[in-house]
Chain A
Amino acid sequence: MSARYDRAITVFSPDGHLFQVEYAQEAVKKGSTAVGIRGKDIVVLGVEKKSVAKLQEERTVRKICVLDEHVCMAFAGLTADARIVINRARVECQSHRLTVEDPVTVEYITRYIATLKQRYTQSNGRRPFGISALIVGFDYDGTPRLYQTDPSGTYHAWKANAIGRSAKTVREFLEKNYTEEAIAGDNEAIKLAIKALLEVVQSGGKNIELAIIRRNQPLKILEASEIETLVAEIEKEKEEEAEKKKQKKSS
Chain B
Amino acid sequence: MATFFGEVLSVYSRAVEEEDREDEDENEEDVEIRRELEEKRTVHLKWCPEVSQAIEACSDKKLFCSHLIIAAGTNAAGFVSTFILNPARWHPVGWLALWNERNRGSGLKNSPPAPGKPGCVIYQQKEGGSVLICQCTCYVAEDQLFQWTEKLFAGLQKRGLTVTVLSDAPIAEYKTADYLHGRDVPFLCALKTSAYKEVVNSPFLEQPNIVTGLPAAVLCHCQVHGIPAVLYQNYSDVISADSITMEAYKPALTLTKSVKLEPPSTAFLQKFTRGGDVHDNLYT
Looking at B16-24, B125-133, B175-183, the stretch in contact with chain A turns out to be B175-183
B277 on interface, CB distance cutoff 8 Å: yes
Which residues of A are found within 8 Å of B8, using beta-carbon distances? none
Question: What's the Cα separation between A3 and B7 when bound, in Å?
Answer: 11
Q: Classify the interface of chain A: helix, strand, loop or mixed.
A: loop
Looking at A46-54, A102-110, A113-121, A148-156, the stretch in contact with chain B turns out to be A46-54
Contact check, A31 vs B284: say whether CB atoms are below 8 A apart.
yes
Question: What's the Cα separation between A82 and B284 when bound, in Å?
Answer: 9
Looking at A73-81, A222-230, A238-246, the stretch in contact with chain B turns out to be A73-81
The residue from B179, B277, B278 contacting A2, defined by CB atoms under 8 A apart: B179
Contact check, A79 vs B278: say whether CB atoms are below 8 A apart.
no
Whose C-beta in chain B lies nearest to the C-beta of A203? Answer: B266
B5 on interface, CB distance cutoff 8 Å: yes
Interface residues of A in 211-228 (CB under 8 A from B): none
B283 on interface, CB distance cutoff 8 Å: yes
B20 to chain A, nearest CB (A): 35
Contact check, B278 vs A32: say whether CB atoms are below 8 A apart.
no
Which residues of B are found within 8 Å of A79, using beta-carbon distances? 281-284
In this complex, which of A30, A54, A78 has the most chain B Cβ atoms within 10 angstroms of its Cβ? A30
A1 on interface, CB distance cutoff 8 Å: yes
B279 on interface, CB distance cutoff 8 Å: yes
Contact check, A61 vs B277: say whether CB atoms are below 8 A apart.
no
A131 to chain B, nearest CB (A): 9
**Total residues of chain B contacting the partner, CB 8 A:** 13
A71 on interface, CB distance cutoff 8 Å: no
A165 to chain B, nearest CB (A): 9
Contact check, B284 vs A53: say whether CB atoms are below 8 A apart.
no
Interface residues of B in 146-198 (CB under 8 A from A): 175, 177, 179-180
In this complex, which of B177, B179, B278, B284 has the most chain A Cβ atoms within 10 angstroms of its Cβ? B284
Interface residues of A in 10-60 (CB under 8 A from B): 19, 22, 26-27, 30-32, 50-54
A70 on interface, CB distance cutoff 8 Å: no
In the complex with contacts A22-B180, A51-B277, A1-B282 CB distance below 8 A: no
The residue from A3, A19, A26, A76 contacting B284, defined by CB atoms under 8 A apart: A76
Whose C-beta in chain B lies nearest to the C-beta of A2? Answer: B179
A195 on interface, CB distance cutoff 8 Å: no
The residue from B177, B180, B282, B284 contacting A61, defined by CB atoms under 8 A apart: B284
Question: What's the Cα separation between A1 and B177 when bound, in Å?
Answer: 5
Interface residues of A in 193-207 (CB under 8 A from B): none
Contact check, A53 vs B175: say whether CB atoms are below 8 A apart.
no
Question: What's the Cα separation between A50 and B179 when bound, in Å?
Answer: 29
A63 on interface, CB distance cutoff 8 Å: yes
Which residues of A are found within 8 Å of B180, using beta-carbon distances? 22, 26
Contact check, A53 vs B279: say whether CB atoms are below 8 A apart.
yes
Which residues of B are found within 8 Å of A32, using beta-carbon distances? 283-284
Whose C-beta in chain A lies nearest to the C-beta of B180? Answer: A22
Contact check, B284 vs A50: say whether CB atoms are below 8 A apart.
yes
Contact check, A78 vs B282: say whether CB atoms are below 8 A apart.
yes
A204 to chain B, nearest CB (A): 13
Contact check, A31 vs B177: say whether CB atoms are below 8 A apart.
no
What is the 8 Å Cβ interface bit string for chain B, positions 239-271, against chain A (1 contact, 0 not)? 000000000000000000000000000000000
Question: What's the Cα separation between A244 and B128 when bound, in Å?
Answer: 52
Question: What's the Cα separation between A79 and B282 when bound, in Å?
Answer: 6
Interface residues of A in 111-166 (CB under 8 A from B): none
In the complex with contacts A61-B284, A79-B283, A79-B284, A1-B5 CB distance below 8 A: yes
Whose C-beta in chain B lies nearest to the C-beta of A22? Answer: B180
Question: What's the Cα separation between A199 and B31 when bound, in Å?
Answer: 65
Contact check, A27 vs B284: say whether CB atoms are below 8 A apart.
no
Whose C-beta in chain B lies nearest to the C-beta of A30? Answer: B283
Whose C-beta in chain A lies nearest to the C-beta of B181? Answer: A22
Question: What's the Cα separation between A30 and B284 when bound, in Å?
Answer: 8
Contact check, B284 vs A52: say whether CB atoms are below 8 A apart.
no
Question: What's the Cα separation between A82 and B237 when bound, in Å?
Answer: 22
Which residues of B are found within 8 Å of A63, using beta-carbon distances? 284
In this complex, which of A2, A31, A52, A61 has the most chain B Cβ atoms within 10 angstroms of its Cβ? A2
Which residues of B are found within 8 Å of A31, using beta-carbon distances? 283-284
Which residues of A are found within 8 Å of B284, using beta-carbon distances? 31-32, 50, 61, 63, 75-77, 79, 82
The 6 closest A-B pairs by CB, nearest first: A30-B283, A79-B284, A31-B283, A53-B278, A2-B179, A22-B180
* Interface residues of A, Cβ cutoff 8 Å to B: 1-3, 19, 22, 26-27, 30-32, 50-54, 61, 63, 75-80, 82
* Interface residues of B, Cβ cutoff 8 Å to A: 5, 175, 177, 179-180, 237, 277-279, 281-284
Known contacts A2-B179, A3-B5, A26-B180; 6 additional CB pairs below 8 A are A1-B177, A1-B179, A31-B283, A63-B284, A77-B283, A79-B284
